[in-house]
Amino acid sequence: MGATAIIPARYASTRLPGKPLLSRTGKSLIQHVVESVRAASKISRIVVATDDERIAENVASFGCECVMTSDLCRTGTDRLAEAADKLNLTPDEIVVNVQGDEPDIPGECIDQLVELITAGDSEMATLARPISPDDALDPSKVKVVCDCNSKAIYFSRSPIPFDRDGTGQVQYLMHLGIYAYRVGFLKWFAAAESTAAEAAESLEQLRALEAGKDISVGIVDYDGCGIDTPEDYAAFVVRQSEMK
């Protein structure tokens, strides 16, 4: 049985209000995300988790399943865990957390992620891609360092590992915000207390590492073009027009 992809989507956004419903391409942004996920062969079910009826109505209009979640969810992980509970998913089932603002995510990347969590012994899996030393200086680009078994050692907004001697030979990896977990672990993760490094870096995945959990990391060449600002969305509209 394939994995379930759950896409958390909320209407409120500080920099881009109503982001999931932006539709200058002729389709809502959330529809673009769903269509990208549909290209993955290892996903058998796609569900949008939202607290907004406008998003739910739009999702229904293009034939995707939707589940209503509380407007009190602090994070996308909380929304995901609540959705998994409402969908009656069993502890051993695999859930993929796909960001609702990643309309270009390739299906092959999602399939690679599902393979990682299925074949490995980690409680959690995610993806990363190589970036330049200049890009590594950007705190909005989260970096990850892995061990020789492709398990995450640490995630940071700082450039890690630190190139002390300035050799320029360090290979930096940017973390992509897509995750896979088994439902039992997801519910533990959502209920666990925040940790010191998580609070300092504002990176939720550090909660798992600080608790001694393994996170497998797959390396891909997807550039991770998420939509966070009006400029990001304008660039996405241009890309879509060029593809027609």
Walk along the chain (244 residues) in steps of 10 and give the mean pLDDT of each run.
90 85 96 97 96 96 94 81 95 95 94 94 94 94 96 97 91 96 95 95 96 97 85 92 80
For the chain, the domain total comes to 1
pLDDT of 5: 98
CATH code of residue 70:
3.90.550.10
231 in Cβ contact with 19 (< 8 Å): no
Question: What's the rounded Cα separation, in Å, for the pair 156 and 153?
Answer: 10
Q: What angle do CA 3, 203, 121 make, to 5 degrees?
A: 40
Range of the domain at 207: 3-243
Task: Check the CA dihedral 30-13-183-220 and report its sign.
Answer: positive
Instruction: Say what the pTM is.
Output: 0.94
pLDDT of 1: 63
Write the CA distances from 213 to 65, 133, 152, 181, 191, integer angstroms.
31, 29, 10, 12, 15
Length of the chain in residues, anyone? 244
* Residue 212 zone, left/alpha/beta (φ > 0; ψ -120 to 50; rest): left
Token pair listed for 115? 């393979």
Question: What's the rounded Cα separation, in Å, for the pair 61 and 31?
Answer: 10
Question: What's the rounded Cα separation, in Å, for the pair 155 and 59?
Answer: 33
Token pair listed for 124? 């959690």
Q: How does 115-141 read in b/e, with b if 16+ C-beta sit within 10 Å? A: ebbeebebbbbbbbbebeeeebeeeee
